[in-house]
Amino acid sequence: MKPKRRSVSTRAATLLLAFLSCQSIVGCSDSPTGPPEPPEPPEPPPVATLLAACEGGRARGFPCERVDLVGRVALPNLTPGRTPDGTSDRWAVNDIWGWTDPQTGVEYALVARHDGLAIVDLSTPIEPRPIAFMGSPTSYSAWRDVKVYADHAYVVAEITGHGVQVLDLTRLRGLTEFTVLSADARYREVSAVHNIAINEETGFAYAVGSNSGGETCGGGLHMIDLSDPRNPTFAGCYAAEGTGWLGSGYTHDVQCVVYRGPDGDHAGREICIGANETAIVVSDVTDKSNPVTVSTATYADRDYIHQGWLSEDHRYFYQNDEADERNNRVSRTRLLVWDVTDLDDPVLAKEHLGPSEAVDHNLYVHEGLIYHSNYTFGVRILDISDPANPMERGYFDTVPDRDDQTFDGSWSTYPWFESGIFVASSWDEGLFVLRLQQ
């Protein structure tokens, strides 16, 4: 998921070709050094200082273990100078993503709010700077999601008429003061959308949980071609009938990858694993006109199969169940570990119980670690060096005075910044810039 950088070897080959061609041109320099080298891509910004190190179990009053507080933007400061529309519950934050400008190396946090998208410049991580805001084209929504492809942000919300907003993120370059931006385009083949996933390797987006107009695809995968990033086009539908509370194939969240795991039967195929409320669903969407179900799997004490992420070797799938703690299915926060060595037959290999009873939410895998938002318990980091047996590595609690089974607190994280920081959103608390101690 990290932003792609230009290939050094490709650049070198291009320069060599230009130099050789130069030999036959009158007046062209035959200097052995050839044409001048273009500047190297910028290095990611260093994290040289901290707002507060995690020491003695606290960082600026926030409970923690081995996770430092680098910087923070409180909720009201995400959009400086703007008056919130309505009561405070209409402008809390929800999901979060990130973008690194390939030209400048500046990292940005993309913070979804009930009323739109706030963008924060992280070039000085100890002083994160809100730099832009793109408002909702309709009314507020408690569910807004954002992903990035080819330097464009794609924003959805579960509100009728919203569709997919497209924002060219290169417009952030050179901004020196907080700016309100409008979308560059809007995809209207869907209306209300719960979530969006993007396979950056293939250039396809997957809107899921769609309803209230447009091509809902039964709430399953509404597939979108992003080959022209500013002009998305409809590519097809996929829904695994019989899954989801209504049996329509409703997908709450999904991850799609070019499969490079141990199951040779599916090597190189575009594989999606969806969290479909009642089951996980493995599908092959390589042919958008003819996607197929590979397998489905569930477990006896499920409550709401919410979201999950593959290990980097595509052998395990780590899944959260958003309601099992709240509805007393389990005694503590539960992480489910699926062995998907055989994509045709996923096996529930492990149930890992955390240290609290908090409800768990989004999780992502990066460099052998799981970054797992747990609402009122904040962010947990688990080491999966032994992939079937996650081990607690550290945590940062964004809601220091509570540890209950509510849906407040940390919603999600983005761990792919090359600088080593990661960012987390917290419902009423805003943006946290964090770093795991080494």
**pLDDT (tens digit, 9 = 90+) per residue, 392-424?**
999 999 998 876 667 788 999 999 999 999 999
pLDDT of 16 strictly over 70: no
Q: Residue 18's pLDDT is what? A: 35
| Residue pLDDT, tens place only, 220-276 | 999 999 999 999 999 999 999 999 999 999 999 999 999 999 999 999 999 999 999
DSSP conformation class of 401: T
Alpha-carbon distance 178 to 133, whole Å? Answer: 8
178 and 78 fall within a common domain: yes
Question: Are 255 and 158 found together in one domain?
Answer: yes
> How many other C-beta atoms can be found within 10 angstroms of the C-beta atom of residue 341?
15
Question: Does 79 lie in the same domain as 28?
Answer: no
> Is the pLDDT reported for residue 36 higher than 80?
no
Confidence of residue 49 (pLDDT cuts 50, 70, 90): low
114-133 residues labelled b (16+ CB within 10 A) or e (exposed): bbbbbbbbbbebbebbbbbb
pLDDT of residue 401: 81
Q: What is the pLDDT of residue 7?
A: 36
Please compute the mean of the pLDDT values over residues 27-40 and round it to a whole number.
43
**What percentage of the chain reaches a pLDDT higher than 70?**
86
Q: What is the pLDDT of residue 42?
A: 54
Task: Supply the range of the domain harboring residue 2.
Answer: 1-41
**CATH code where residue 129 lies:** 2.130.10.10
Report the range of poorest mean pLDDT among 309-313, 327-331, 362-366: 327-331
113 shares a domain with 13 = no
349 with 268, same domain: the answer is yes
Are 155 and 133 in contact by the 8 Å Cβ rule? The answer is no
For 144-168, write each residue's pLDDT tens digit. Answer: 999 999 999 999 999 999 999 999 9
CA–CA dist 146, 424 (Å, integer): 14
Whether 365 and 321 map to the same domain: the answer is yes
Q: Is the confidence at residue 136, as pLDDT, over 80?
A: yes
Count of domains in the chain?
2
* CA–CA separation, 348 and 101 (whole Å): 39
My answer on whether 8 and 113 are in the same domain is no
Q: Are residues 126 and 156 in the same domain?
A: yes
pLDDT above 50 (res 364)? yes
Cβ atoms of 122 and 128 within 8 Å: the answer is yes
Instruction: Please tell me the least confidently modeled range out of 96-100, 330-334, 428-432.
Output: 330-334
Residues 6+ apart with CB under 8 A from 294: 266, 271, 282, 283, 284, 343, 344
Say yes or no: 127 and 30 in one domain: no
Looking at the structure, tell me whether residues 135 and 29 fall in a common domain: no
Q: What is the mean pLDDT of the chain?
A: 88
Query: Is residue 34 domain-shared with residue 166, that is, in the same domain?
Result: no
The verdict on 229 and 100 lying in the same domain is yes
